[in-house]
Chain A
């Protein structure tokens, strides 16, 4: 069974750094891509970027380029989303998801990680 298990909820202050994780199991991790999707409270889904687990190639949505970093540790089948300096506007639910079809479509989703940013 394919599973993506994300790290737990986080409460941070503006300016702090943060890294959240997404561990894949039940499939060959390096044969797929992982993507991250933001959902702000009461809003829709926003695509942030993706990473090819075979070679760690990444590409980002222009809306998120330079503000977040997507990375992975293939040895532990885990992908990461990190911020070096959080802003209040980063408060949201973040989902990781598996991309198939050459990295263009989502088939499985993680359960989500809620990030709260408040002074």
Chain B
């Protein structure tokens, strides 16, 4: 059971906007930056959002992140078929001295 809580699945149609939530606690999300990773089928994860809301070079601006208190969210606008993937949130836990991952959210583009 993951310490960070994400919905197991979500879906949307092309062009739609979807959001994925990530809930944690005081010593993890509440005290540290949140990162998001995209894992396309059969591939390694890739950094999508860093430091809550920053996009690495090459990540489309359709992807955005936010954080408030002990929760964070990833938003994908203008949904495309190639966005179909698993998405993971991650942060650092000060009390455990550990990297935490959410359980992952499978995004299906209908």
Contact = CB atoms under 8 A, between A and B. Distances in A.
Interface residues of B, number: 24
Interface of A: 35, 37, 44-47, 50, 59, 61, 95, 99, 101, 104-112
Contact of A45 (B33, B92, B98, B101): B101
Nearest to A95: B44
A95 B45 contact: yes
Main SS of chain B's interface residues? strand
Given A45-B45, A59-B97, 10 more contacts: A37-B101, A47-B99, A61-B98, A104-B92, A104-B99, A105-B33, A106-B45, A106-B90, A106-B99, A108-B47
Interface of B: 2, 32-33, 35, 37, 44-47, 50, 56, 86, 88, 90-92, 97-104
B33 A109 contact: no
